[in-house]
Structure 1
Amino acid sequence: MPAQTAPTTRLHDFVRGKLVSRGRLAAPGGGRHAGRGTEMKPGRSADSGTQHRLPSEILIKILSYLDASSLLCISHVSKLFHHLANDDVIWQKIYQSEFGVWKPTLVGDVEVKDNRPDAEGPAAGRWKMMYFRIMAGCEVKTWRKQLRNISPHTGLPRQTELVLRNLNVSWELTLCSKLGERMTWEKSQGFFFESSVIFRWSGVNSLKYHHISSIHLYAVRKKTWKSFEARSCWRSLMLKLDTKTHPHHFIGYDGLIKLLLLPPDIVIGIWRGQNCVAFVMVSLHFHKLVEKSLLGSPACPYFEPADPLPPDNSDPALGLHGYSLHFVLHNTATEIMSAHFHRLSCSTVHIQRGLVELRVINRSNLSQHRPLSGSIKLPWKSQELEGAIENCCIMSLTLLDEFQKPFWCVSSPVYITARRNVPSWDYNGDHFLMNYRNPDGEVKMMLVWLKEQKQFFLVSLTVYVAVAKVNKRFSREYGSRTGPLGGPAASRGPGSLQVQ
């Protein structure tokens, strides 16, 4: 690629400043403060005025030296740059540098038609569309084929970790302060399990938690295609939390660290006495993790399309039936418990608080009770210091519907609390509760600590699924014994619910 000229460098700096100030690009030098990120406005900056006074032909010439990823980022800066960054001459150059001279071909099962600018019909955006259609077609077909190998226990692809590693995907965490500063942690430590992965960032502790305004998590794909420079990459936004409005609470501590939970899946370790961030942990479920990591954009996360249901002639009066649950309690080092439960159901459905109950482990059935291996704790490490927060761990839950498709997937930190005045004729020990809740449902667990054995037993596990989620899944809205228009209940689709 030709060396950048002085105007190109100035344009690059200007655009990067714009993107950083608007939260669409991480500041350079991961782990360091990037300075005040106040928004630059036309007329208030010499660079801004210079770039907008340049003729379009010169700007297009400058933009022609950028790669595809940089062009997409620049297109978010302003209407002017959005228009210029979609110029067909630029994208034709990018296309031909990657694939050579245009020729009709088949990519997977999709035919690439004659979309050249000189073909009949409007030409605007055709080279860009062709480039991404072929690039996506080549790669998506490959990794989707690898993800077809489904585990019967989890209902998830077996090779999620392998696909992510082969595609050179990493994860970056950006913390934005109330003063406009941005701190990006590029290097993370990953802990992969059967249905989830935990990422931990540490090593920089100069930012106080109460100064943080928002948290951004990106999946980063390092480009290896020949038309890209080594530094080029694609960012897919995984989540964004506003700490000023998002609920949070402390869930544990040791002699050095206080642990703060930001639902659903972020844990922040804070140095006691300093209130500075020591580390951040994020737990991600494997369900659609590859799609979320590759198919999102720097500004918008990937949204899962509706998955059509297979035909089913079962009697809807049975409620939920034939469900399965893969349930894991673990930390960053070991699995504390892993189990798979079949044939979960609830017959004539009774709904309380808008939730339908699936009883997994019954407290009165001793044969269902499960021992936990080891203690419940969450290890942490920051620079040369390390420790473990007692009574905290990660819960990874995969609820499969009657078609053995993932229906509700959760990977989130949980913690235990003492339960008082609970008589038990089966166990002589202390009782504890471990609960989880989000808009899609709840999980309630009861544990008993046996002092002599020095071991926890899980004696009760109940999963509650929101009626709204069930009816949305089956494209129904039933709130009584009759349909939404007063029709008979027999017109319900599979899995729809009735309130009694």
Structure 2
Amino acid sequence: MAAGRGEFFRSVLEGLHRQPIQPAPGRPPPVRGRGKPGPGGGQAGGRGKKRRPKAARSPVSGDGYSCPERRREKKKADFPEIKTPPSKDNLVERLPSEILIKILSYLDASSLFCIGHVSKLFYQLANDDVMWHKMYMSEFGREMWKPKSVDDKAMKEEVEDRSAGHWKKMYFRTVAGQELNKWRRELREISPYTGLPRQTEWVLRNLNVTWELTVCNSWGQESTLEPSRAYFFESSVIIRWSGGIFISYHHISNIQLHGVRKETPNTPKVRKPDWRSLILKLDMKTQPSRFISKDRLIKLMHLSPGVMIGIWRGQSNVAFIMVSLHFHKLVEKSLLGSPVCPYPEPVDRPLADNLDPEFGLHGYTLHFVLHNTGTEIMSGHFRKLFCRTVQIQHGLVELRVIDRTNLSQHRSLSGNVKLPWKSQMLEGSVENCCIMTLTLLDEFQKPFWCVSSAICITKARRQLSFDYGGEHFLMEYRDADGKVRMKLVWLTEEKQFFLISLTVYISVTKVNKHFSTEY
């Protein structure tokens, strides 16, 4: 059957390329096809007669006359009307629409989708609903029984009863739904330690998901950067861009982060277009960055949430960009959004336990990690966190995780608090800076507040505890949903930090919106 198709296409192209036969001297030029002479025929080239096009003339053997053939009017074909005039040099576009659609019907869905971007003609042909209906039924449904008298024209009328492009949308929606259900099954197993799916990293790697950074300057020019390295942890991932040429930091107008699923090397025959899902978009004018820390080569700027930009000291050139992403709904954000709109998380509001309104919020769980691109500095899992209604002040719900007065809860930070970085040529580390990944679970053990962002250590203005004699420091994070406050002491003999207090504050507005309450 494949050989028959190839022979058919080859004969069509040979007919288009075939040169017309040169006429003998003194005889009219021959035309293709045969036809009977119509009424009103006369001598070719006679005066007073309106000449027909050459394609409509037919020679009569034996004399010097030819009778023009009246072209039969064909019935309107049941194919989309093509308004684009065919090019004289493009032999394919000179074919009738029904033949082109017949040729395109042998393509698979990905090839048909790609060929629709070639020209306006192929865009209209590749969106034929009859063709997509047959493709949909052949892959996802059984052909419905029809009487033998029902022909393609009747099926065309049936399909056109729906909106234009219906079956094309149904095809891709079904394909996406089948694949969505497949990897969602892998995300059903929840870790009791983090409250997140266990297989998030495995799914991201298996689906070949990557992240592209688009930097736009003040003149509207955009440059898309491929990631240089991704660092995976149990509840977050850090992506670094250090290759290529960055524009000046002061000329950056906005930054966009897209999740992209790349085509696997196992299927190089058909190159499908990469779908880009917008994860975040930061405007440098409305969301200005703030200085975090520096070393002898760079200074580090931070944009909420989770974007870090390293700038060469004494210059305005960008050395690298790093983004820290929390695992909560990261697969959905990287795949199910659109190129211009992020993935909208479904709203699932649980019922609040108001049996004892004076008791307030209770049953919270916190998974807390301090780490950098290579090592884990501190990790903790804290259960049964609560807040009484009298503790709700200044629009914040206070959850005391590590109490300063309870010495048994204090813990040390392993290793130095620093953030390693690497550019295209050089590398280093910013001292007293790291990544904080926080996962707060509500009383139903569902993720309630998830953060993964850079945080730095600053020296406290006064002594925070009289139980320790070393220098005291603070680590603070704040956004619209809440804030985190940590108190640390530097132990000179051990040469390490000791965490003596950890408090999480949640916005009352976020709590009321999540539980539909009125605290």
Q: Same fold (TM over 0.5)?
A: yes
What corresponds to 2:261 in structure 1? Answer: 221
Counterpart residue type for residue 259 of structure 1: L
Instruction: Give the deviation of 1:250 after TM superposition.
Output: 1.2
| Structure of greater relative contact order (alpha carbons < 8 Å, 6+ residues apart) | 1
Alpha-carbon distance in structure 2 between the residues aligned to 1:92 and 1:162: 39
Displacement after TM superposition at 1:347 (Å): 2.2
User: Residues 429 and 290 from structure 1, CA distance in 2 versus in 1: closer, same or farther, beyond 3 angstroms?
Assistant: same
Aligned partner of residue 286 in structure 2, secondary structure = coil
Alignment of 1:223-372 (within 5 A): 223=263, 229-230=270-271, 232-309=273-350, 314-372=355-413
Give the whole-Å Cα distance in 1 for the aligned partners of 2:275 and 2:389. Answer: 49
Contact 2:129-2:160 at 8 Å conserved across structures: no
Decide whether the 8 Å contact of 2:256 with 2:280 is kept in 1. yes
2:234 is matched with 194
Moved more, 200-209 or 263-272: 200-209
Q: 1:145 aligns with which of 185, 203, 206?
A: 185
TM-score of the superposition, structure 2-length normalised? 0.72
Counterpart of 2:482 in structure 1 is 441
Instruction: Render the CA deviation track for 1:376-397: whole Å, top value 9, x for unaligned.
Output: 1000001231100001100000
What per-residue deviation string (whole Å, max 9, x for no partner) do you get for residues 86-126 of structure 1? 98834665676688466349xxxxxxxxx997258424231
Partner of 1:481: none
* 8 A Cα contact 2:128 2:165, kept in partner: no
Unpaired stretches in structure 2, ≥5 consecutive residues: 1-81, 87-92, 144-154
Listed as ranges, the gaps of 5+ residues in structure 1 are 1-53, 76-80, 106-114, 479-496
Amino acid of the structure 2 residue aligned with 1:376: V
Cα distance change of structure 1 residues 102 and 262 upon mapping to structure 2, 3 Å threshold: closer
Distance 1:302 1:332 in 2: 27
Q: 1:314 and 1:241, CA in 2 relative to 1: closer, same or farther beyond 3 A? A: same
Does 2:432 correspond to 1:391?
yes
Give 1:155 shift. 0.7
Worse-superposed segment, 312-321 or 189-198 = 312-321
Distance 1:158 1:253, change over 3 A: same
Identity of matched residues, %: 59
In the superposition, relative to structure 1, how do residues 378 and 99 fare at CA in structure 2: closer, same or farther (>3 Å)? farther
- Structure 1 residues 214 and 455, CA gap change in structure 2 (3 angstroms): same
Counterpart CA distance in 2 for 1:363 and 1:102 is 62
Alignment of 1:444-459 (within 5 A): 444-459=485-500
Change beyond 3 A, Cα 1:56–1:287: farther
Match of 1:33 in 2: none
Amino acid at match of 1:152: P
Match of 2:473 in 1: 432
How many residues are treated as equivalent by the alignment?
409
Aligned to 1:89: 127
Tell me how far 1:353 sits from its aligned partner: 1.9
- Quote how far apart the aligned CAs of 1:130 are: 1.2
Query: For the structure 1 residues 104 and 318, does the alpha-carbon distance in structure 2 shift closer, same or farther, using more than 3 Å as the test?
Result: farther
Q: Let me know the Cα RMSD of the aligned residues.
A: 3.3
Asked if the contact 2:194/2:439 (under 8 Å) is kept, the reply is yes
The 1-side partners of 2:475 and 2:83 are apart by: 63
SS of match in other structure, 2:465: coil
User: Is 1:103 aligned with 2:141?
Assistant: yes
Local SS of the residue matching 1:138: helix
Counterpart position of 2:507: 466
Task: Label 1:67 to 1:221 Cα distance change in 2 as closer, same or farther (>3 A).
Answer: farther
Contact 2:129-2:159 at 8 Å conserved across structures: no
Counterpart residue number, 2:446: 405
